[in-house]
Copies of this chain bind each other. A is one copy, B any other.
Amino acid sequence: MAYELHYWPTIQGRGEFVRLALEAAGADYVDVARGTHDGEGGLMGRLRDADDPRPPFAPPFLVADGMTIGQTAAILLFLGPRLGLAPTSEVDRLWAHQLQLTVTDFVVEIHDTHHPLGPSFFYEDQEPEAKRRAEDFRRTRMPKFLGYFERVHARNPAPGGFMVGAELSYVDLSMFQLVSGLGYAFPKAMRRLEPTIPGLIGLHDRVANLPRIAAYLESDRRIPFSVEGIFRHYPDLDG
């Protein structure tokens, strides 16, 4: 039975970390809100479903085997072994999940560069605050997170150049997405940082060239980056 992915139909957002895993594995899945004409309406209906004993807090959520699973990192924890995108040992599975949770933390901070006052205000209502937060993000937080992931990549004792163990995992796909998204949102800052993260840049390029990922990126299933998602290119916030 096909996996059902439920996410906002017009942005990559957090759903993209799940889409990349489904695509890399060639999994049978339906991107539900994109395929139905009520799009966001259907998604909101599910979120408000008063009968679900395990209601998700927010998209993305996955429906599989009669279960509804929310939270990006939890979805990947569940999908990883089924899609052949998780390490086999328990220790490394927990380690991959721990890295994914640090991706989650980073994604919040990336989002907060354009929404420092929170999700209730438009970007246009918090531009000076966004500028101040983004400047600090580029100077301290972006190098800190990327430097951490670069260190993890360099310390992986297994061959193959992956983040965890000797095989591709969902963590590698998430690194691809972070490098792509930051390159779109903060091109100047990324150009300056790139020489310090050769391992991540190499990994990004190898993931982009995996046959299934390359085909996905060419297809219209890959929603383009825009100023609606997590990674937004506002020239005022780069530098």
Interface residues of A (CB under 8 A from B): 52-57, 67, 69-71, 73-74, 77-78, 91, 94-95, 97-98, 101-102, 104-105, 108-109, 112, 116-121, 129, 132-133, 136-137, 140-141, 145, 148, 151-152, 155-157
Contact call B118/A137, Cβ cutoff below 8 A = yes
A120 to chain B: which residues have CB within 8 Å? Answer: 136, 140-141
Cα–Cα distance between A185 and B6 once the two chains are bound (Å): 35
The contact of A101 among B71, B98, B121, by CB within 8 Å, is B71
Cα–Cα distance between A118 and B119 once the two chains are bound (Å): 15
The contact of A94 among B78, B104, B151, by CB within 8 Å, is B78
Contact call A148/B97, Cβ cutoff below 8 A = no
Cα–Cα distance between A140 and B70 once the two chains are bound (Å): 21
Cα–Cα distance between A53 and B196 once the two chains are bound (Å): 20
Cα–Cα distance between A127 and B57 once the two chains are bound (Å): 30
Contact call B148/A136, Cβ cutoff below 8 A = no
User: Could you tell me the dominant secondary structure of chain A's interface residues?
Assistant: helix
25 contacts between A and B (CB under 8 A): A53-B156, A53-B157, A54-B98, A54-B152, A55-B148, A55-B155, A56-B98, A57-B105, A70-B102, A71-B97, A71-B102, A73-B101, A74-B101, A78-B94, A105-B108, A108-B108, A112-B112, A116-B117, A116-B133, A117-B129, A118-B133, A118-B141, A119-B141, A121-B136, A129-B129
Cα–Cα distance between A108 and B78 once the two chains are bound (Å): 24
Sorted from nearest, which 3 A-B pairs have the closest CB atoms? Answer: A71-B101, A57-B102, A120-B136
Cα–Cα distance between A137 and B119 once the two chains are bound (Å): 10
Cα–Cα distance between A27 and B69 once the two chains are bound (Å): 30
- Of all chain B residues, which has the CB nearest A109? B118
Contact call A116/B129, Cβ cutoff below 8 A = yes
Cα–Cα distance between A104 and B73 once the two chains are bound (Å): 12
- Distance (Å) between the CB of A67 and the closest chain B CB? 6
Contact call A94/B118, Cβ cutoff below 8 A = no
A91 to chain B: which residues have CB within 8 Å? Answer: 67
Given A69-B94, A74-B97, A98-B71, verify A136-B117 contact (CB < 8 Å).
yes
A148 to chain B: which residues have CB within 8 Å? Answer: 55, 57
